[in-house]
Amino acid sequence: MSRRRFWPRMKNFLLQLGEQDGIGATATMIVKDKKRIVIEHGIGFSKNGEIKINNRPAGDYLVGTRIDLIILTHRHYDHIGAMARFIALHPEAEVVMSYEVHQLGIIVLEDSYKIQHGERRKAEMAGLPLPEEIVSLEDIDIFKKLPNEGGTIIKGNAWLDSHPKWIGWKLGFHHSGHDTGSLMVFIKTPSGDRIVYTSDVASHDQKIVKGVMMPDQEFIGDFFTGDGKTIMITEATNGNRPMVEIPERVEARMIAVTKTVIQRGGIALYPSFAGNRCANNVWSLCEAGILTVLDGLACDFVRIEIPGTLVDQWVKEGKLIIVKGPDRKLSRELREKIVRGDFGPCAIVTSSATMEKGHAPWYGSKLLDNPLNALIFTGHMFEDSIGEQIRTDALVERGRTIKLEIFVGQGRDSRLEKVPVNVRCDVYHFDRTSHDKQGGLVERIRLVRPDHLIVHHCKKDGYEGLMNAVIASPHIKTPRISRATHLTPIEL
Ligand SMILES: [Zn+2]
């Protein structure tokens, strides 16, 4: 789609290029005081029958349009997915991200290249049209070299206010409490207006990161003083969900259930998001003294998400087994031993959270038919996912059959096959969300006191839940409220 088709006739505006489904493929463009800022360039997934489709933001990477600043707040696919290509196509732009996001981002991009490559090969062999390339090795190379080639890689919380191209601007970056190295963004423009972009945000603590409501006064300084209006852009993933149970209680119940499974000689399988949730679960389980197995992509992340010394200590004490390693044959043998019970009862943490890709379906095919075992979900349950189907089936009756897609055969002969599995184990869901619930989101809005509140990264119910809570709050002077949906410009 050419830029002409959607570029609004406004001087100052915000335009959400992605988020076709509300959540997924976030790409927020802000044009203000003659600067063009793009925050995130993610990808989303949707299903068309059996075929999975990648959604990327509209605008064909805004080729031919000058971009002044690109910000990547964290490494989740819906934020980073199309970012390497976007950065590569905009050498004129300043690029800012945290040190941890740069490190984790490289792993995510390399994994996404591998998956994409596999998908393209599959399509080629089946004579189907090739899926679009989202990231190339050249893109990844440019991303890798950012620290040496003009990118701004932030360590800790920082203000960048002495940049020659940004005279009269203040740009602040502070941890957002959502994920390792994730950032919220504070922008003061030459006209005196303030922009607060929360990104994905959490005020409650997780094992791997401390929650952040707002930065302290020392960081904020005089940001909120002076004339000009305050524009706040917040996510609302959980905008309609109040916190009914504190995270520590959720964790305690999860550990208690897992210990019961271990005591009866079973294995607890945790299908988890590779980024963030695997590490949080591993930390909780190892701390509780439960023998924990980690497999899949999260094995590459774990030493960035959890202090390496702690990981090494768990491994040394025999509390943690990290399966994925450079020797594939060895890893495969280890996997077989674990599901055979050679290591005894344990918890297995692996991706994917939806049981559609990665190692979770394979482990599931070996474990779910045994009533001694348990399947424990800890993330958002996506409608239409295999995981959600297993969970809802289990609410009705035990022993329903599900088809899991796993790799069978080895080496060149390996192929994906759907195997039927009779689900006879217990199935649980503990919501260990890394996004603020409604109360946290509302409290942050109370503290920021925006004149204009822009809500994005949510479904309709999340937006309405948050909007109604803000309007109902006696402590908040109701601001102008807009919802940033796909390609709907909002004047700033
Ligand atoms: Zn996120």
Q: Three-state SS across 151-208?
A: CEEECCCEEECCCHHHCCCEEEEEECCCCCCCEEEEEECCCCCEEEECCCCCCCCCCC
Cβ contact 76:275 at 8 Å: yes
Measure 30 CA to ligand 1 centroid, in angstroms.
Answer: 20
Residues 457 and 323 in one domain: no
Measure 182 CA to ligand 1 centroid, in angstroms.
Answer: 8
Task: Write down the pLDDT at residue 50.
Answer: 56
The CATH number of the domain where 402 resides is what?
3.40.50.10890
Distance separating alpha carbons of residues 396 and 296, to the nearest angstrom: 31
User: Residue 201 — left, alpha, or beta (φ > 0 → left; ψ -120 to 50 → alpha)?
Assistant: beta
Residues 287 and 311 in one domain: yes
Domain boundary among 429, 460, 478: 429
Measure 338 CA to ligand 1 centroid, in angstroms.
Answer: 31
Measure 434 CA to ligand 1 centroid, in angstroms.
Answer: 8
Phi, psi of 115 (to 5 degrees): -60, -45
Domain boundary among 409, 429, 449: 429
Maximum distance among all Cα pairs of the chain, rounded to whole angstroms: 68
Measure 161 CA to ligand 1 centroid, in angstroms.
Answer: 27
The CATH number of the domain where 59 resides is what?
3.60.15.10
Measure 200 CA to ligand 1 centroid, in angstroms.
Answer: 5
Residues 25 and 112 in one domain: yes
Task: Write down the pLDDT at residue 128.
Answer: 85
Residues 310 and 171 in one domain: no
Measure 429 CA to ligand 1 centroid, in angstroms.
Answer: 20
Distance separating alpha carbons of residues 257 and 245, to the nearest angstrom: 16
DSSP-based three-state secondary structure for 115:
helix
Q: H helices within 408-473, ranges in order?
A: 438-448, 460-472
Residues 452 and 386 in one domain: no
Distance separating alpha carbons of residues 300 and 53, to the nearest angstrom: 26
Query: Which domain covers residue 25, as residue numbers?
Result: 3-241+437-491
Using the CB atoms, write b or e for 457-484: b if 16+ within 10 Å.
bbeeebbbbbbebbeeeeebeebebbbb
Q: Count Cβ atoms within 10 A of the Cβ of residue 446 and give its class: 0-12 exposed, 13-18 middle, 19 or more buried.
A: middle
Domain boundary among 429, 447, 474: 429
Number of folded domains that form the chain: 2
In sequence order, the 6+-apart residues with CB closer than 8 A to the CB of 244 are none
Task: Write down the pLDDT at residue 55.
Answer: 84
Rg (CA), the chain: 23
Task: Write down the pLDDT at residue 273.
Answer: 94
Residues 396 and 458 in one domain: no
Cβ contact 38:49 at 8 Å: no
Task: Write down the pLDDT at residue 126.
Answer: 81
DSSP H or E stretch at residue 426: strand 426-429
pLDDT tens digit at each of 492 positions of the chain? 556 678 999 999 999 999 988 888 999 999 999 999 999 999 987 665 555 667 899 999 999 999 999 999 999 999 999 999 999 999 999 999 999 999 999 999 999 999 888 888 878 888 888 888 999 999 999 999 999 998 999 999 999 977 788 999 999 999 999 999 999 999 999 999 999 999 999 999 999 999 999 999 999 999 999 999 999 999 999 999 999 999 999 999 999 999 999 999 999 999 999 999 999 999 999 999 999 999 999 999 999 999 999 999 999 999 999 999 999 999 999 999 999 999 999 999 999 999 998 899 999 999 999 999 999 999 988 888 999 999 999 999 999 999 999 988 776 677 888 999 999 999 999 999 999 999 999 999 999 999 999 999 999 999 999 999 999 999 999 999 999 999 999 999
Residues 159 and 57 in one domain: yes
DSSP-based three-state secondary structure for 267:
strand
Measure 263 CA to ligand 1 centroid, in angstroms.
Answer: 35
